[in-house]
Structure 1
Amino acid sequence: MKPTQQSIIFTLLFAVVVDSYSADKPPAESINPDSNLPEFDTVFILGNRISLENALMIKQEHIEIVDSVTANTINKLPDYNVSDAIQRITGVQITRDRGEGSVIQIRGLTQVETLFNGREMFTAGNGRNLDYADIPAELLAGIDVYKTATPDLIEGGVGGTVNLRSHRPFDFAGREIVVNVRGAHADLANAAEPQVSGLLSDYWQSERFGKIGALVNVVYQRRAFREDQASAANPVGRNDLIAGQTVYAPNGSSETLSQGTRVRSSGNIVLQWQPNDHWDLYAEANYTEFKTTQDSYQLNLFPLSESNALSSGLPAFSAGSAKVFPGSQNLQSIDWLNASASQLSFARDTVDRTKQGAIGGSWQNHKFKLSSDLSYTDSENDLFFSGPVMSASGVNFSQNLSGTVPSSIATNNVLQDPNALKFSNLALRTRPFAGTLAAGRVDGELFFNHGLVKAISAGMRYAHRDANNEPGLIIADTAIAGLSAASLPGQSQLNPYRDFFDGQGAHSQDYLIGKLDNARDIAAIRKIFGITSNIPGSNPLGTWQIEEDTYNGYLSAKLDGVFFPIDGIIGLRIASTEQSLNGYQIQTVNNTVTPFNVNSDYIDLLPSANFRYLFSDAWHFRLGASRTLTRPDFNQLSPSLTLTANTINPAQNFGVAGNPWLAPIRSTNVDGAIDWYPNKATALSVAGFWKSVDGFVANTANPETYFGQTYLVTRPYNSNTATLQGFEFNYQQFYDFLPGAFKGLGLQANYTFIDSETFYFCFRPTRAAAKLIA
């Protein structure tokens, strides 16, 4: 796969910080002693260095192991989305999708709990996680990654917990107005798109009503992308390519070019009120929408198999053309004959929409603090896939696997002949996901002035989550017979893209592709191809609906060393989970579809202990131990079955099914870290970690027969215990000792090593109802 693009970004930032309401502001006459001179509001210009210093300060102040990225003023994170920003944190890895960060891992694990201002946030889908590509970086004030658990953190992250922090009005000294405009040019897509964001924050103070603040933050991003993919299919052992030798050759090749746009629209509104020194109240609402519009053109070439070549009497390859890599049995290059081809042109559009609203606040005096939060989250995700499929036979092509990019190129003109290419299928698929979460929590903390125990904290949380994919994946693919590209000249064209992979390797060019002018108009495109059948409705086998209630409580103590410079947090979190899984299953005796329901509940005890030893102000040593869990994804728990028939090759029928009896992933963790902070902008850190994970979810595929056809069905199971260990290294410094302009030079570097092992395809017994897990 080729990276989607290189981008040149031009940024214009306008920021005004007016601290008119700051209690610490000096009197006007001290700023302007000459009364004849005009008075101006103070304007602050802050660089990136202060953000790095604040991130280190957060790390130093926490007893647990935490790493952060901060933005002291909006737009200090020069990234598209949250995933692009979080990749700078030690121990965090990301995967990319169409040139942007998407899924994150903490120390190699995707089981991550994501919070937005301390409350759970997610993107509707098969899983429980937030798609980090949804959130623009400009919406955030900072990101905190918790690598060790504490009792007050919401459970769900075996890998760790990420808290995304947005701005609030009282974060600023007064009025804050920020406008950011930039343009990004994508080289491969050869297009430039705008990105605009703005923030307006202010607060007012009076003796009667106290301090009242309001903030509005909006972001709009457009980005063009292009993605080129080339791959060789699965290798198959063949005895006909080189006499007396078994050669492992790919059973095909695939080349796809995708181009489109991605659009983010996001907004955050916050009201904050402090009627007096004891109260801090807030109301928040945020909205994110992330749309991807994509056109793709895929060419698949399938050589004759050894058995098909024998039965048909057709040569499968040019005699003497097969070559293997030196010293191996793996095919390097060959000239295939009489191959079959399929050309897929399709529109593939997705949209994520997530809304969250919350109200809450806290009351505090010198001995006690009480806080609460009520929130509601609503998320949806939709997929639309549509386009024509053409097929042909008698294609000759050369395949070469020796270059940087696997290449294949047609050597005859079958793919350019509109009479040889036939429209074989019209693809149409839609798939929705939806999810809601209503949650409420109450926390209290009691402070002590003397003794070993500095504070005792306790809290409760209740959350109700609903997730479904109704009406499920609707597959309305329709076979087309008797229509050649020549009979519908307006529905195909020569491939206009001649720079596949920037010209690296040899690839087919000037072949016919389907047009996508009407792909997003279902009625129109079906009429063009003469399809009059009704679009099938929901397939109950592929639908699921899951309700989950979680009840949580925790008790913890914050310790402060009396005789030694040691402090810590110890405690216990109790998590009770009740699930109701609804779907459908096939009765294999008579192939009837019947409703299916599974109810389950379980309780987890999640102890944790974190300690920090201060050798000095500069040297910190941290040690943590905890028990964590991640509940299985919804599609993994689903009792339903999705079957996808291949109308061209039934041998490639496949299915996906869930397992309602999956147990959560549970982990015992030990972490240690030693940090050195010689000054506020410099740090050197080394951390080690060990996890014993009780039952990752692994998939296995087996043939199953339904309605007289065989499908290769993939199902999830709990594996045996796995162990994961490793270490992290982080270094940050500004070289102030350098002369002149070099004094502002700095460096950030980190390295993570992970080693893990488990038993493959060894499955534990599934869970029983109402268990107490310690």
Structure 2
Amino acid sequence: MQSFALKRAIASILAVCAAPLVVAQEQSNDGQVVEELSEVVVTGYRASLLGALEVKRNSDLVVDAISGGDIGALPDVTIAETLVRLPGVNGTRDRGNQSQAALRGLGPRLVLGLVNGREVASSEPNRNVRWEIYPSEVVAGVDVYKSQSADIVAGGVAGTINIKTIRPLDYSGPMVLLRGGPVYYEAGADIPDYDPYGYRGSAGFTHSIGDDFAINLGVSAQRQKNAFPSFQGWGYNDETINPGNDTGDLTGDGITDATPWGAQQEVKKLTEDRVGVNGAIGWRIGDSFEINVDALYSEFTIDEDQNQAWYGRNGTTGNWANTTAGCYNSGPSQYVIENGAVVAALLDNCYASVTNVIAKYTEDKDLLVTGINGKYEDGAWTTTFDVSQSKATRRNRWAAFRSEVYPASMAFDMSENGASGLDLTNITWALDRLDGTEPGLATSSDPSDPNGQFAPDWLVGNSDGPDHLQDKLIAVRADTARAFEGEHLKQISFGVRGSGRKKEFFRRQQTYVSRVTTALPASLFTSYSVDEFNAPPLLNGNFDELAEFVYGGMPVDPGAIVQSSMWDVDEKVREAYFKVRFEGSLGVHFNANAGVRLVNTETTSSGFSSTNNGSLQPVNIENSYTEALPSVNFNFNLSDDKMLRVGLARVLARPPLDELRASRSLFNEFPPPSGSGGNPMLEPFRANQADVSFEWYFAPEALAALAVFYKDVDSHIGYTTEPVTIEGVTYAVTGPFNGGGGGITGAEFTFQTPFPFFRDMGVYFNYAYVDTDVKEFYPVTNPLPIEGYAKGTSALDLWYSRGGFEARLGYKYHSPFTIIAGWNGGDVRTLGEERILDFSTSYQVNDAFGIRLQINNLTDDPLRISRDNDPGRLGSYDVYGRRALLDFTFKF
């Protein structure tokens, strides 16, 4: 019903938006508006493509770019959605939104994120930048540097992404821009007690006072209502890849059979609010000095009601030490094994538990980025200075009510396509649920029956959080350049940079004992089912009412800090560089740059250590390293429209800050001694890289480019178990350690052009291929490729632009893609291939008023994540649905 309503609304809007296209075509046919291309002023998405092409052509590095053109010209809501359409860039959807970026087969940990050339604090525990925090309205452009130069801040082995916000002295667009409208999230439409409509709005003001002073102010607000269902697997009891497990032998053939620990389904009823404020001032003082000040503040809040059902908490499905083999092998029970693991089973009269969970998740994170930049010119000399400060905080809490029931029998199918071949012919309660199209689960009785809910005192309520994370970063930079007018030497430049960063974290944890000894009143509950996969109904209720009735409330105790979770890392970085630009001829004209950047890093990691769960002792560990990073780049002008670029460089990426934590837990009562924790002595990721790019600008607005690259990774970081000697005792410690690296080879092809036979329409296409032998440490028997690796990535846009009307159909694909799930760097999984189809259209009615429609995920492509480098081992199956945005723009 909701899908039909959405389609009908879309059709009506498209009919209105298509009117200008018909008019434009009629005008073209009668010859009234035919113009030469050079006289056409391109706008909107087409202008963005042209601007990005010019940035790429004029750069002296291998770079891809996003050009904002006028404020709000980008077709996407956030810059993250635009980033993933660039060659070799992938993203991960978090609650349905593109978020963090991987580049050239390497994950977000190896991508350096900058804002106006400055490193910024992050609300993630590592260093990763969440790009969705930057609305497209505040972005003037983005440069993605794939080759390295000595004057770029060090820190990206994969590459460097630099967001450029609006500088008012350089801005020539409208003075005032107002934009707003509703957003509809289809996945939440059929969920009870939930409104699937959100909104987006923004206002921007840019004004020049004379030619030498200008200001920019902007505000934006968003409410996101994308509730969605998810079906998840809990991983496997498999001692071949997890030595601490005790795996049973179901078939009796002497070979262990991995069994699932359990599964769960959930619905997240999300309300996410974002408020942002940005501003900038530009001031030219005379002919020699210019100063720019900019600031950005963004706050995200999440209020998320969750309905969950946990299947198998009592261990029935996990078969620890073969203790439940009888359940799998008795009576009508049956199971299906694929690649040594049970992917589907019917467990008859085994009474696997179903834990009904009604929970509340809240999150509040904010980011403040400020900076001042000055430039002084005196003849051939140019001196710049830059001072910046950023601060990010994050506070999040998950609190839950739980009840538990025990249906006699359970069946599940978590195979890759939900079609394992499990024979349920005579099992009517399961046959209707498991239809062989998606992962699913069935029980012989309804676990969500409001009349059968209990909350015994041993099944406590939980509160994880509020967690506290804070990241502060201050940086100072000074650069000097001297220009020359000689035949070969064109410029020398040198500079220094220093930064100080401190990231800290701790968590709270509480439990709440039930005060109700009888069955809970049925009036506290309702239930509902979702259509996106096959599972029993979910128990529903008001979290606050349940918490008060069952536990007398779930207040936060500020002192409930888990001391062992506390850590902080102080990092000081000092950098200096020297660079020279020169030109010459080697049969063809070339321009080039060469230089070296020296980087010294000092870290102090603090935390707490315990031995055999004894008293906690403070730990402080220092580390330092210095690297010389040479780079050279040649740009050969083969002809007026053809260019060949060659770049060589040594690069590094500093370890994730949370993995430098000093906290650890050690055990030596029974041999062999073991432990777990962070690793303050981690060395950075290091690599030598080579880039070659051929670019052919074969027509106006057109490009065909082929780039190939190779990265020889000296060292990388992953989670494994290694011997570590502490106070004379050698422990087998599980945590982050450096690995030996390997090679990464890839190629990227880009093609864009208006069609010669119809220049109002065009195409943008890219495809990237990557091959690597750099591996994670997990699973030990068949390690995953390094985080961020996807063999194939492509994007295809078909666009039309004429007379104020624009339309774009965009397709994004990636092959299976290694990711880190959540905050645990050791939890590496595989994100299955995705095919996302988007559509956007807009019509500029006149100089002041425009309308835009955008529909994301047209084909409702689900997200499937698998575990253990095996596509049959389900991690999660999320269905985000379509998203439709309709907004209106006023500018003058």
TM-score range, shorter chain: 0.7 to 0.9
Match of 1:512 in 2: 539
* Correspondent of 1:371 among 378, 384, 387: 384
1:444 corresponds to 2:480? yes
Deviations 1:399-449 (A, max 9, x none): 234133211012124542644643512111111110111111110110000
1:754 aligned residue (761, 766, 770): 770
How many Å apart are 1:162 and its aligned residue?
A: 0.7
1:286: how far off? 1.2
Task: Report the counterpart of residue 254 of structure 1 in structure 2.
Answer: 264
| Aligned residue type for 1:268 | N
Matched, 1:64 2:61: yes
Cα distance in 1 for partners of 2:339, 2:100 equals 39
How many Å separate the matches in 1 of 2:470 and 2:454?
A: 40
Name the counterpart of 2:636.
Answer: 613
- TM-score, normalised to structure 2, is 0.72
Letter aligned with residue 574 of structure 1: L
Contact 2:606 2:619 in 1 (8 A): yes
User: Per-residue deviation at 1:336?
Assistant: 3.9
1:617-645: per-residue Cα shift (whole Å, max 9, x none)?
Answer: 211111111111111112100011489xx
**Superposed, which structure 2 residues align to 1:763-774 within 5 Å?**
none
Query: Using the alignment, how far apart are the partners of 2:364 and 2:544 within structure 1?
Result: 20
- Answer whether contact 1:139 1:219 (CA < 8 A) is retained: no
Letter in 2 for 1:544: W
Give the secondary-structure state (helix, strand or coil) at the position aligned to 1:51. Answer: helix
Identity across the alignment (%): 23
- Which of 346, 356, 359 in structure 2 is aligned with 1:334? 346
Q: Distance in 2 between matches of 1:327 and 1:583?
A: 41
1:657 corresponds to which residue?
677
Residue 139 of structure 1 and its aligned partner are, at CA, apart by: 1.4
Q: 5+ unaligned residues in a row in structure 1: which ranges?
A: 14-43, 644-653, 705-710, 764-774
Contact 1:174 1:202 in 2 (8 A): no
SS in 1 for 2:697: strand
**Post-superposition offset of 1:258:** 1.0
Q: Which residue of 1 aligns with 2:285?
A: 275
The residue identity in structure 1 corresponding to 2:764 is Q
Instruction: Name the CA shift for 1:377/1:244 in 2 (closer, same or farther; >3 Å).
Output: closer
2:316 pairs, out of 282, 291, 304, with 304
Determine the C-alpha separation between the residues in 2 that align with 1:702 and 1:334: 40
SS at match of 1:495: strand
How high is the TM-score relative to the length of structure 1?
0.82
Larger displacement relative to structure 2 (137-146 or 284-293): 284-293
In the alignment of these two chains, the number of paired residues is 693
Partner of 1:140: 139
Name the CA distance, whole Å, in 1 between partners of 2:453 and 2:69.
63
SS in structure 1 at match of 2:157: coil
- 1:372-451 matched pairs, under 5 angstroms: 372-400=385-413, 401-402=418-419, 403-416=436-449, 418-419=451-452, 421-423=454-456, 424-430=459-465, 431-451=467-487
Question: Match of 2:274, as an amino acid?
Answer: R
Distance 1:457 1:313 in 2: 71
Kindly state the Cα deviation for residue 248 of structure 1 after the two structures are TM-superposed.
5.2
CA displacement, residues 655-691 of structure 1 (integer Å, 9 cap, x when unaligned): 9621111111111111111111012311111111111
Q: Which residue of 2 aligns with 1:227?
A: 228
Matched, 1:54 2:51: yes
Q: Contact 2:346–2:409 (CA<8 Å) still a contact in 1?
A: no
Q: CA deviation at 1:482?
A: 6.3
Aligned to 1:559: 582
Write the letter of the residue equivalent to 2:443. A
Bigger relative CO (Cα 8 Å, ≥ 6 apart): 2
Tell me if the contact between 1:415 and 1:421 (Cα under 8 Å) persists in the aligned partners. no
| Partner SS, residue 56 of structure 2 | helix
Give me the whole-angstrom Cα distance separating, in 2, the residues matched to 1:267 and 1:199.
10
Is 2:260–2:317's contact at 8 Å kept on the other side of the alignment? no
Counterpart residue type for residue 600 of structure 1? N
1:680 counterpart residue number:
700
1:313 Cα deviation from its structure 2 partner: 11
Partner of 1:287: 297
Q: Which amino acid aligns with 1:586?
A: S
Distance 1:240 1:678, change over 3 A: closer
Given that 1:82 and 1:133 are in contact with CA atoms closer than 8 Å, whether structure 2 keeps it comes out as yes
Change in Cα spacing, 1:261 to 1:121, as seen in structure 2 (3 Å) is: same
1:312/1:75 Cα in 2 relative to 1: closer, same or farther (>3 Å)?
closer
User: Is structure 2 residue 388 aligned with structure 1 residue 361?
Assistant: no
Q: Quickly say closer, same or farther: Cα 1:241–1:560, change in 2 above 3 A.
A: same
CA contact (8 A) 2:250 2:328 kept: no
Asked whether the 8 Å contact 1:340–1:395 carries over to 2, the reply is no
Could you tell me whether the CA contact under 8 Å between 2:711 and 2:743 is conserved in 1? yes
2:599 partner amino acid: A
- 1:92 is aligned to 89
More deviation in 575-584 or 302-311?
302-311
Alignment of structure 1 residues 456-605 onto 2, 5 Å: 456-469=492-505, 472-480=506-514, 483-484=517-518, 486-487=519-520, 489=522, 492-496=524-528, 498-501=529-532, 504=533, 506-509=534-537, 511-513=538-540, 515-517=542-544, 524=548, 527-528=551-552, 537-561=560-584, 564-588=588-612, 591-605=614-628
Give the SS at the match of 2:175: strand
In the other structure, the counterpart of 2:150 is 151
Q: Secondary structure at the match of 2:658?
A: helix
Do 2:142 and 2:162's aligned partners in 1 also have CA atoms closer than 8 Å? yes
CA deviation profile, 1:472-513 (whole Å, cap 9, x unmatched): 1111134548645x24556x41323x2241xx4x3102x534
Question: How many Å separate the matches in 1 of 2:762 and 2:285?
Answer: 43
Counterpart Cα distance in 2 of 1:289 and 1:126: 17
> Structure 1 residue 611: deviation in Å?
0.8
C-alpha RMSD of the superposition: 3.5
Q: CA deviation at 1:594?
A: 0.9
Does the CA-based 8 Å contact 1:182-1:194 persist in structure 2?
Answer: yes
Relative to structure 1, the CA distance from residue 357 to residue 642 in structure 2 (aligned partners, 3 Å threshold; closer, same or farther) is farther
Which residue is equivalent to 1:24? none
**CA 1:268–1:331 in 2, change beyond 3 Å: closer, same or farther?**
closer
* Residues 518, 361 of structure 1: alpha-carbon distance in 2 compared, 3 angstrom cutoff: farther
Structure 2 CA distance, aligned partners of 1:358 and 1:72? 23
Q: Provide the C-alpha distance between the structure 2 equivalents of 1:46 and 1:323, rounded to a whole number of angstroms.
A: 60
Q: Note closer, same or farther for the CA distance 1:608–1:391 as it changes in structure 2 (3 Å cut).
A: same
Change beyond 3 A, Cα 1:344–1:684: same
**Structure 2 vs 1, CA of residues 702 and 571 (structure 1 numbering), >3 Å: closer, same or farther?**
closer
